[in-house]
Structure 1
Amino acid sequence: MKLTVVGGGSTYTPELIDGFARLRDTLPIEELVLMDPATDRLELVGALARRIFARQAHNGTITTTTDLDAAVEGADAVLLQLRVGGQAAREQDETWPLDCGCVGQETTGAGGLAKALRTVPVVLDIADRVRRTNPTAWIIDFTNPVGIVTRALLQEGHRAVGLCNVAIGFQRKFAGLLDLPPAQIHLDHVGLNHLTWETGVRLGGPDGENVLPELLSHHGEKIAADLHLPTTLLDRLAVVPSYYLRYYYAHDEVVRELRTKPSRAAEVAEMERQLLALYADPALDEKPDLLAKRGGAYYSEAAVDLAAALLNGGGSPYQVVNTHNNGTLPFLPDDAVIEVQAAVGEKGPKPLPVAPVDPLYAGLMAQVTAYEDLALRAALHGGRDRVFKALLSHPLIGQYEYAETLTDRLIAHNREHLAWA
């Protein structure tokens, strides 16, 4: 089995390597290729990856390359974890929207649109190259914004599944609170990428007992504190929203906070400098503790689970993925990309039935789906008017004066990445 990681020079990668090494019985990789144009980072990460494999007695080979075509040739699966423009572009995404009183964030609002515009054309080019060399390969997209990027891939007919670590993070958290193995926890997880709610927490599987009321009753304060939302809100909703919902439920509060502290991009950039210094130590042969603060918790477990299910029928029988709606949520178009539990096998994911969704959540999902459709059109075809319409449609913007100003700033800050600008 050959697996390729595009963006293999990321400081995330040792987390992924650790999972590949520990879970080799689930996903028996014979050849792992790390591809990245940043040769300095790639060689540091690649060397550490080999040491991690050696420490855990994994006999698979790890190679590094800057040649995309060579990297994906013959791959059974290609995992995408790239960031077009790097942390410098992310820094911009998180700052210039604040001038208009709008959230600055890399996947939500104006910053999220900027990232989509930079990313979609690059990902589609990669996917076309994958299809030319191995049309049966699966593409696993971890690149944000996952919903829009996955929709672009599926719209072009690629064998693609989107992956996010929010659901597995909740699964692990709830398992810890309930003192149960994670495999015993099944989430009723519904929504769009970075716009999801846990409407049930079931024991054993999709038909198991729903213990969410008990969980909120006994651990609501801790869950709410982790989400930076009031306990009273969770009590009234009787669900657990993703922490990304705070950008919607406490927008103005978040903007005030973001204006008074360093950006997350600046924090991550400093963390990456420290991580790369650690990776350069030839004695290091495991992922360092600092990596847990970088983000992407449990990313490796989720990736291994999904790849195993797609490639050899292994992994968990049900997994939370991003895939076509196809009638699962009747209030959304069939070609919308939703994030729900699915039965995943070698033919791909098949979403499980979802109970009727409360209008409070369905309405927001419908509006963000419409935004994602307009965002994808802007990413594929360009043009100031398309960018403006996407921004105007976003529920965190929605005013024409803001949309006008943000359109000009988005284009100005991203001109080098926009072929049409």
Structure 2
Amino acid sequence: MSDKKFSVVIAGGGSTFTPGFVISLCANQDKLPLRKLKLYDIDADRQKKIGDACAIIVKEKAPQVEFEYTTDPEEAFTDVDFVLGSIRVGKYEMRSQDEKIPLKYGVNGQETTGPGGMAYGLRSIPAIIEIIDFMEKYSPNAWMVNYSNTIAIVSEACRRFRPNSKVVNICDMPIDDMGRMAAIAGLKSFKDLDFTYYGLNHFGWWKSVTNKKTGEDLMPLLKDYVKKNGYYVGGDFDKETEASWVATFKKVADCYALDPTTLPNNYMQYYYFPKYEVENANPHYTRTDEILEYRQKIVFGECARIVKEGTAKGNLWESEVHSNYIIDICHAIAFNTHEKYLANIPNNGAICNFPDDAIVEVPCLFGSDGVQPLVVGEAGRFQLGLMMEQVTCEKLVVDAYEQKSYIKMLQAFTLNKTVPDATVAKKILDDMMVVNKPYWPDLK
């Protein structure tokens, strides 16, 4: 490894995930040595609460790293090697609308799937494009690793509007599922697994899972476990797993039953069982309310404590799996290792019987020349039908943005598997247009 050190900016520095990410960056200096770490956010007050605590964390854990936070794009994006995208346009107020408006009409309310996911994606497009433009203006050699949702829609927008930009769109959800597979198989980490996976973001399947060291086929063992328990592991592994996620991981058993030749991403429940999801949701108290009541209060409370006491010792955060995964990807790009990770990328033959211009989530080799998708073969007939419907919804959302078209957004809502008919789709869209007026283009 060379002696080079890197400058990183986290775009979305006021995120509640930022302190944990900063700790992960400090803990992985052997993997991604830093000379500078910056936070950028358009919400100065929110970022200050996070940034002041992170300054203390960096000073104590990696004092050699220069740290700053700013709302000025030129200051943030000048002299950086990596831009890490972690933005939520409209913050939790809009996430709550994404969840509650569909539920009002008997449709699943979830932040990245169904109408809520499409609404979120439409909000995210201009902000992600703006960040790409800042990066290219002030640090044209930098890479952006984006994990801001809705990833599939954002990735399609990048394909159309910034096709030559150095942007990698990723998601860590399959890694969480693979961490559970590793635990089921008695292995330490998802890194102990080799795999073949294909689909769309939050919409995919494993065709194979093997022990990376021994080559053992783990699919029979995993299938036997999953058909009874889903991806729920229990014990110490799940001692801090929230109840809503416990239900999610257990529901994978029912998803698996629809195609026992593969293992599903846990998000498939929203498309396979939309009626079940609505019946088991509280339209007045959704996942956003849980986060605001617990996670956000805890994070901001802990940040305030760190600032007040002037030390991060005894803080609540540890180096996190999803943060470490992003650091692994940056390492692969920085040091040209061509390691295999998942990315959301134009298909171009990776899934042989799927359109080349579709954004798919498949294994890729990551290096300084970007990401190279690996061929995963054909999609099954069942999966192919589901994927064609979903990818068309995602493309229609980007059409709606590009053309400022109400009808394209209505078509996207109507086509989506979670929405029962066009009448319901129109009611949801009309309500969403009102609350999204500050963020969406003026759809005609």
Q: Which amino acid aligns with 1:198?
A: W
Give the superposed CA RMSD.
2.3
Residue by residue over 1:339-383, the C-alpha shift from the partner in whole angstroms, topping out at 9 and shown as x without a partner, is 111111111111112032211112111111111111111123322
Counterpart CA distance in 1 for 2:314 and 2:346 is 34
Q: Percent identity?
A: 26
Counterpart CA distance in 1 for 2:225 and 2:250 is 18
Counterpart CA distance in 2 for 1:266 and 1:287 is 27
The answer on 1:177 being equivalent to 2:189 is no
Counterpart for residue 252 of structure 1: 275
Counterpart CA distance in 1 for 2:125 and 2:82 is 19
* Aligned residues of 1:224 and 1:234 also touching (Cα < 8 A): no
Runs of 4+ in 1 over 6 A off after TM superposition: none
The answer on 1:154 being equivalent to 2:177 is no
Counterpart CA distance in 2 for 1:82 and 1:260 is 25
* Aligned residues of 2:96 and 2:289 also touching (Cα < 8 A): yes
Residue by residue over 1:109-153, the C-alpha shift from the partner in whole angstroms, topping out at 9 and shown as x without a partner, is 111111111110121122112112222221111110011112212
Match of 2:69 among 53, 57, 64: 64
The size of the alignment, in residue pairs, is 415
Counterpart CA distance in 2 for 1:344 and 1:287 is 36
SS of 2:209's equivalent in the other structure is strand
> What is the CA distance between 1:251 and its match in structure 2?
0.8
The answer on 1:280 being equivalent to 2:304 is yes
Counterpart for residue 412 of structure 1: 434
SS of 1:280's equivalent in the other structure is helix
Counterpart for residue 240 of structure 2: none
> What is the CA distance between 1:228 and its match in structure 2?
3.3
> What is the CA distance between 1:299 and its match in structure 2?
1.6
Residues 39-188 of structure 1: pairs in structure 2 closer than 5 A: 39-57=44-62, 59-155=64-160, 156-157=162-163, 158-182=165-189, 183-188=191-196
Residues 380/114 of structure 1: CA separation in 2 closer, same or farther (3 Å cut): same
Unaligned runs of 5+ in 1: none
Q: Which amino acid aligns with 1:162?
A: N
Q: Which amino acid aligns with 1:418?
A: W
Residues 88/46 of structure 1: CA separation in 2 closer, same or farther (3 Å cut): same
Counterpart CA distance in 2 for 1:218 and 1:124 is 43
Residues 3/256 of structure 1: CA separation in 2 closer, same or farther (3 Å cut): same
Counterpart for residue 205 of structure 2: 197
Counterpart CA distance in 2 for 1:77 and 1:9 is 18
> What is the CA distance between 1:223 and its match in structure 2?
2.7
Residues 257/80 of structure 1: CA separation in 2 closer, same or farther (3 Å cut): same
Counterpart for residue 326 of structure 2: 303
> What is the CA distance between 1:168 and its match in structure 2?
1.6
Counterpart CA distance in 1 for 2:396 and 2:314 is 40
Counterpart CA distance in 1 for 2:343 and 2:250 is 25
Match of 1:3 among 8, 27, 30: 8
Q: TM-score, normalised by structure 2?
A: 0.87
